Amino acid sequence: MTTETTAISPPTIGGQLPAIQALSALAEQHPTLPAAYITVQEPAPRYNTDARLDVQVDGPAFEAWRTALGADPAAVVLHTTVSNTWLAVDTTYEGVRVHLAGFQGPLSRAQVDAPRDTTAVSA
């Protein structure tokens, strides 16, 4: 038995390159998408995860981004809290994982009480 430890090299920007290239391709293919807050997450080899993109948009821009990313409308999830409401979907684009979130204010009482099913949602 040895006391050697296996060192994991820290992630580099080179590991983020696939996500950066996917973002570049998205911008080239869809130059009129509304601006977004985008972060490129570093790969985490220890957890067997590659680099990914996290995209946050204002609520009205969500559908345009969802469509451009090719995310399945049935995969969209509505999240609500007392003070916030957002739609979110996880998808892949150009082989890179993408998390898209569209934020807006709280729902009205009528919106909270309205019946929902995925066929009535445009996103």
Strands 52-58 and 96-104: parallel
The structure's pTM equals 0.78
Q: Which of 96, 103, 10 minimizes the C-alpha distance to 53?
A: 96
pLDDT band at 102 (very low <50, low <70, confident <90, very high): very high
Helices (H), ranges, the chain: 13-29, 62-69, 109-113
What secondary structure does DSSP assign to 25-42, as a single string? HHHHH-TTSPP-EEEEEP
Alpha-carbon separation of residue 20 from 61, 79, 104, 121 (angstroms): 21, 28, 27, 31
Report angle CA 58, 84, 105 to the nearest 5 degrees. 55
What are the sequence ranges of the domains in the chain? 33-114
Question: For 18-64, how does the pLDDT look when each residue is reduced to its tens digit (9 = 90+)?
Answer: 999 999 999 999 999 999 999 999 887 777 788 899 999 998 999 99
Answer whether residue 78 shows pLDDT above 60: yes
